[in-house]
Chain A
Amino acid sequence: GAVVSQHPSWVICKSGTSVKIECRSLDFQATTMFWYRQFPKQSLMLMATSNEGSKATYEQGVEKDKFLINHASLTLSTLTVTSAHPEDSSFYICSASPGTLSGRASTDTQYFGPGTRLTVL
């Protein structure tokens, strides 16, 4: 149980294009989903937290207009990197938490997706 998938697993795009990454919880409903970015040989850095049906909460320094997050259902969240540039190349990882319905992220365990490798040429 508690499987999270991401699609695509890797993507190469040209500078200036937009890329959409999907994150799905396969066997549970995820009230809260998280998007992380992992640079080579570094730890995961939280980009944003999204609760189903509401606007995402972005971490300081993350451009919300560049990294669009949509959490339209309890099993799907998408991250769209708009007008991607080479500096956006990274490993993007989502996680999902069953959470609570209070609108705030719970303390429950996060289950991680396999990640998406984005390369912007």
Chain B
Amino acid sequence: AQSVSQHNHHVILSEAASLELGCNYSYGGTVNLFWYVQYPGQHLQLLLKYFSGDPLVKGIKGFEAEFIKSKFSFNLRKPSVQWSDTAEYFCAVWMDSSYKLIFGSGTRLLVRP
């Protein structure tokens, strides 16, 4: 079955630490890849997306993600996190076979000042 896995459910970091959140999907066809962020009490916002081209995608607020097709992965990275990055992060994959967005289970990030 088509699925999206986020292996880290809870991550706690100190400010200035580097961040990498894993995302893997199980589907061999064409995909579009997204990372969304949900700050406390707010709605989902798009961080970045990959449709085609350069597999290293830069998003807002210093986030980037790399699509590695051979590994079916789209990991999110940020070199130096801030307290304001505390939020829940969702990886989502659009699969052309199902015409719908499938979300990972989310990763709750807590950044300590």
- Chain A residues with CB under 8 Å of chain B are 34, 42-46, 49, 59, 93, 95, 104-105, 107, 109-115
Provide the B89-113 mask, 1 if CB < 8 A to any CB of A, else 0: 0100010100111111110000000
A109-B49, A112-B43, A114-B43 are contacts. A42–B105 as well, Cβ < 8 Å?
A: yes
Provide the B24-57 mask, 1 if CB < 8 A to any CB of A, else 0: 0000000010101000001111100101000000
Shortest Cβ distance from A4 into B: residue:
B43
Q: How many A-B residue pairs have CB under 8 A?
A: 43
Count contacts on B: residues with CB < 8 A to the other chain.
21
Partner of B34, one of A93, A109, A115: A109
A34-B101, A49-B100, A107-B51 are contacts. A112–B44 as well, Cβ < 8 Å?
A: yes
Quick check: A104 and B43 within 8 Å, CB to CB? Answer: no
Quick check: A43 and B106 within 8 Å, CB to CB? Answer: yes
Quick check: B49 and A105 within 8 Å, CB to CB? Answer: no
Quick check: A43 and B94 within 8 Å, CB to CB? Answer: no
Quick check: A112 and B36 within 8 Å, CB to CB? Answer: yes
Quick check: A109 and B100 within 8 Å, CB to CB? Answer: no
A43-B90, A44-B90 are contacts. A93–B104 as well, Cβ < 8 Å?
A: no
Partner of B99, one of A95, A104, A111, A113: A104
Partner of A93, one of B43, B45, B51, B102: B43
Q: A104 vs B103: C-alpha distance in the bound complex, in angstroms? A: 20
Quick check: B32 and A107 within 8 Å, CB to CB? Answer: yes
Shortest Cβ distance from B104 into A: residue:
A43
Scan residues 48-92 of chain B and give those whose CB is less than 8 A from a CB of chain A: 49, 51, 90
